[in-house]
């Protein structure tokens, strides 16, 4: 119960003043009927009704109190709040070309990329996640799903060498955009992880990024490699690091995403944690509030007390001269 206009309650302070004034006037007044002596009446016992002679005035004060409370507009509020989690759609785009076997990460880039991607999936709760893999070609390994256990299984089963070698970044992004463009989620995200340059496919990465921007899709790009040269193969032959960072930055900027460079496993984990923070599922809150006025009950009670006072003053508690 709340009060819409509680300032009216200050008027209740007048009621004790009225009671005090009533008592003071009663002490100063003379009798209603003059007798030569009231000695004979001093031993007459008081009746039940004579003891209630102050009841009408008390009822009047109670009536005023109820009217004041009614003026303060007591209300009953009913509030219902609902929360809904709006999941986002995320497509992981993972490079599975032969260069991902480079050993500047332990045991190699591919194993580290797969392990950190699995950890990222484990941290999501309401989001649909899919997986696109690419080398010289690209295909959807796992469509958007909430079945995280299945996605983890497919990540664990990934193997290199099953696709024609190369790095078709533009084709991979276009494949991911095609998967996401008709999704109903309010937020759609692509996370691209690669260690090379676009050297295969017929679609330029910037063209794919333009398509993503038109579809309202953000792209986060991650360059995965150390600096300079990296050992590759059983003979640990040194091969140059060839990440096109300018292209990766441009792709991310075009779509409102960000580019990250991961030079070790901890850095890659921190990047996924940052993306996780940036792409939290939004929570929608709806608040329903209904107000019911309750002053009528107080006015009804005041009316009943007033009727009772009038009835008593007109019958058993009638006075010859009323003060």
- Check residue 261 and give its pLDDT: 94
For 202, how many CA atoms within 13 A lie in the half-sphere containing its CB? 0
Predicted confidence (pLDDT) per residue in 182-225, tens digit: 888 888 999 999 998 999 999 999 999 999 999 999 999 999 99
Mean pLDDT of 10-37: 74
Q: For residues 27 and 35, what is the distance between their CA atoms, to the nearest angstrom?
A: 18
Q: Give residue limits of the domains in the chain.
A: 1-7+54-81+285-323, 87-281
- Can the peptide bond before residue 107 be classed as cis, meaning omega within 30 degrees of 0? yes
Q: For residues 31 and 10, what is the distance between their CA atoms, to the nearest angstrom?
A: 36
- Check residue 37 and give its pLDDT: 57
Both tokens assigned to 86:
């709006």
Place of tokens 């999704």: 183
Class of domain 87-281: alpha beta
Residues in the chain: 323
Predicted confidence (pLDDT) per residue in 224-259, tens digit: 998 888 898 888 888 888 899 999 999 999 999 999
Residue 83 confidence class, pLDDT cut points 50, 70, 90: low
Beta bridge partners, 75, equal 2, 293
Predicted confidence (pLDDT) per residue in 44-75, tens digit: 566 666 666 777 878 888 888 889 888 888 88
Cβ–Cβ < 8 Å for 132, 94: yes
- Check residue 24 and give its pLDDT: 81
> Residue 172 burial by CB count (10 A; 0-12/13-18/19+): exposed, middle or buried?
buried
């Amino acid at each position: 119960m709340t009060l819409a206009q509680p300032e009216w309650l200050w008027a209740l302070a007048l009621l004790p003043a009225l009671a005090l004034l009533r008592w003071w006037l009663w002490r100063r007044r003379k009798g209603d009927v003059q007798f030569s002596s009231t000695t004979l009446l001093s031993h007459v016992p008081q009746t039940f009704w004579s003891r209630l002679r102050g009841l009408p005035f008390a009822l009047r004060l109670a009536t005023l109190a109820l009217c004041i409370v009614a003026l303060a507009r007591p209300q009953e509020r009913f509030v219902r709040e609902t929360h809904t989690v709006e999941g986002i759609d995320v497509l992981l785009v993972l490079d599975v070309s032969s260069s991902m076997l480079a050993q500047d990460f332990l045991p190699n880039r591919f194993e580290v990329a797969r392990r950190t991607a699995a950890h990222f999936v484990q941290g999501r709760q309401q989001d649909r996640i899919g997986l696109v893999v690419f080398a010289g070609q690209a295909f959807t390994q796992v469509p958007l799903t909430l079945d995280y256990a299945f996605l983890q299984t497919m990540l664990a089963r990934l193997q290199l060498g099953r696709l024609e070698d190369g790095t078709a970044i533009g084709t991979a992004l276009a494949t991911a955009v095609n998967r996401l463009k008709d999704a109903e989620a309010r937020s759609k995200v692509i996370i691209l992880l690669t260690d090379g340059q676009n050297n295969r496919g017929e679609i330029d990465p910037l063209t794919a990024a333009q398509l993503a921007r038109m579809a309202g899709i953000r792209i986060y790009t991650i360059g995965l490699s150390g600096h300079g040269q990296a050992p590759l193969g059983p003979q640990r032959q040194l091969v140059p690091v060839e990440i096109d960072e300018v292209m990766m930055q441009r792709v991310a900027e075009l779509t409102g995403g960000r580019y990250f460079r991961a030079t070790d496993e901890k850095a890659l984990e921190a990047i996924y944690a940052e993306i996780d923070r940036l792409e939290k599922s939004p929570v929608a809150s709806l608040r329903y509030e209904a107000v019911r006025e309750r002053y009528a009950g107080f006015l009804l009670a005041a009316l009943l007390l007033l009727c009772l006072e009038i009835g008593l003053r007109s019958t058993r508690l009638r006075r010859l001269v009323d003060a």
